[in-house]
Amino acid sequence: GSAITPIGSGFTDADGELGFSGLLPNTYTVTETPKPGWVNVTPLVQTVDVVAGQTAEVWFGNVPEEEEPETGDVIAYKYNDLNRNGTHDEGEPMLEDWEFTLTREVDVQLEDIAPSAIMLIGSGLTDEDGELHFGGLFPGEYTVTETPQEGWDNITPLVQTVNVVAGQTAEVWFGNAEEFLPFTELDLAITKVADDHTVDEGQLVKYTLTY
């Protein structure tokens, strides 16, 4: 069998280069030491043939590890629910300038107060596309609350909960429809009563109208 003899080791310089000189012609093995935070694009171990009077090259490529995202996003969508079915159907317009508030329930580790409290995360108005974005949210359950506007009926709940997952965008949809004009119920009734139910021909009959 053959034994593996270490020739040398070292670190690459500012130009990313590391040289080994004075090598006798032969086949050599170059091994990269893995570095945390980097992914190997080329093999960790490569062989190279050294020829007298020449400089052999061997290239190693790495890329940074993609950091796992720590936060997620929420987008609130606001639409005109024309058919009042609670879902956004094709052709139903989005609504601008509707206010939404984002909150989260948090544990409070202090004495003499409630075990949890509501933390205000942010609020804002929907844009011309009926969207309002909340970004940089740590994973967990959040509450989105719509601010009612006069003249509109809520078809979907005013308050909705949404679960935020790191690296993802959660959606929550709110639909409203314009109020119907109120109907006025009739409160007038008229009765007509004759003063005599058995009359002769030509006799006058007196009728009383009651309302």
> pLDDT for 154-210, tens place per residue?
999 999 999 999 999 999 999 999 998 666 666 778 888 887 777 778 888 888 888
The percentage of the chain sitting over the pLDDT mark of 70, rounded to a whole number, equals: 91
Report in angstroms the alpha-carbon separations of 130 from 77, 88, 134, 163, 179: 6, 12, 14, 21, 19
pLDDT single digits (tens) 52-107: 999 999 999 999 887 778 899 999 999 999 999 999 999 999 999 999 999 998 76
- Model confidence at 118, pLDDT cuts 50, 70, 90, reads confident
Residue 202 token pair: 């030509």
Global confidence as pTM: 0.56
Q: What is the 3-state secondary structure (H, E, C) of 15-55?
A: CCCCCCCCCCCEEEEEECCCCCCEEECCCCEEEEEECCCCC
CA distance 43 to 58: 11
Is residue 130 a contact partner of residue 79, using CB atoms and an 8 Å limit?
A: yes
**Per-chain mean pLDDT for the chain:** 89
pLDDT band, very low/low/confident/very high, at 111 (cuts 50, 70, 90): low
Alpha carbon distance 123, 126 (integer Å): 10
DSSP per residue over 100-119, as a string? Answer: EEEEEEEE---TTS-SEEEE
- The tokens of 58 are what? 């061997």
Q: Residue 145 pLDDT more than 90?
A: yes
Helix (H) or strand (E) holding 182: none
* Closest by CA position to 71, among listed 39, 98, 104: 104
Torsion over CA: 153, 158, 164, 167 (sign)? positive
